[in-house]
Structure formats: C-alpha cells, structure tokens
Copies of this chain bind each other. A is one copy, B any other.
Amino acid sequence: MSISKQAFDRHDHSACVVSALDAAELLCARHGARLTGRRRRVLELVWRSHQAVKAYDLLAQMAREDPSVKPPTVYRALDFLIAQGLVHRIESLNAFVGCVRPGQAHHEQFLICDDCGTVQEVEVPEVGRSLTKAATSAGFQADHQTIEVHGRCDTCCQPASRR
C-alpha cells in the first residue's frame, strides 16, 4: 500500500482521474499508440471510481451520450487499454479497473472488497516471485499471473461507529 486506507477514503479522486489520463497520454505517445476519443473516454469512465466497472455499464453511459456506441466499441477500447497496460481486467468479476502503475512492469495483484466493491491494486513482490519460482521448478513457463483476493476492506471491517 502506498497510502493508508483512511487517507484513501477521503482522497481527492479527481486527482486520480487527471493523473491517470495524463499518464495515459504520455505512455501512448511513448509507445506510438493512439489514445483516441473513444479510448480516452472509456479510460475516463473506468477511473470514475476505484471499483471495477462492467463493460455494459460503460456501454450504457457512453450510449447515452452517443447512440452509435455498441458493445464492440467498448470492448475494443478496453482491449486497447489493457494491451497498453492502462487497464486491468478482474477475472473474478468480469470487470475492469484502471492500473495504478501504468508503464511500470508489475504483476497484477488485487484486493477486492465484496462489501463495497473497492479494488485495490497491490504489489507483493514475494508472491509473484514465489509463484514464478514454483512454476519454473515444475517446468512451467509462466506468462501471466491472475491474483485476486476477495474479502472485506479496512473500512467495511470496522464497526459503523468508527467510520
């Protein structure tokens, strides 16, 4: 964790969005990838919160603004953003979150609160290392790790009086 949960609960989220979009512009420029209007809008909507977003929720919001937005519109943008490392897919939710470390190599590891839906991306280096090592010793060449821990976050664990 880079910040405490309490700090997180009161954080200025619009700063998250701005910095995510800025980082995306930068990263795409560096990669010669095009962050088009559609893609930028999807990324923006993904960053609306720290909860995982469903593709069809994105679709619904975007279709309200422009009826020509159809499922492929959304899925293509998501595919692009995932390929650029700007968005992660949460397999156990069929949903998507913005990456908090775009451009930095990292294993994707998530703490997912089943109460409030908050997804916190973490980096526990030991976990990735142990897994890769165990895989290797089994003759398995690891390409990608899906690590998603479900449970209850700090806030949701605390009695109401302390919130």
Measured CB to CB, the residues of A under 8 A from B are 1, 5, 91-92, 109, 111, 113-114, 120, 122, 124, 126-127, 130-131, 134-135, 138-154, 157
Contact = CB atoms under 8 A, between A and B. Distances in A.
Contacts of A143: 114, 150-152
Contacts of A5: 138-139
B149 A145 contact: yes
Given A145-B147, A146-B149, A126 B130 contact: yes
Nearest to A138: B1
A111 B138 contact: yes
Given A145-B147, A147-B147, A135 B152 contact: no
Nearest to A157: B141
Contact of A135 (B141, B142, B144, B149): B149
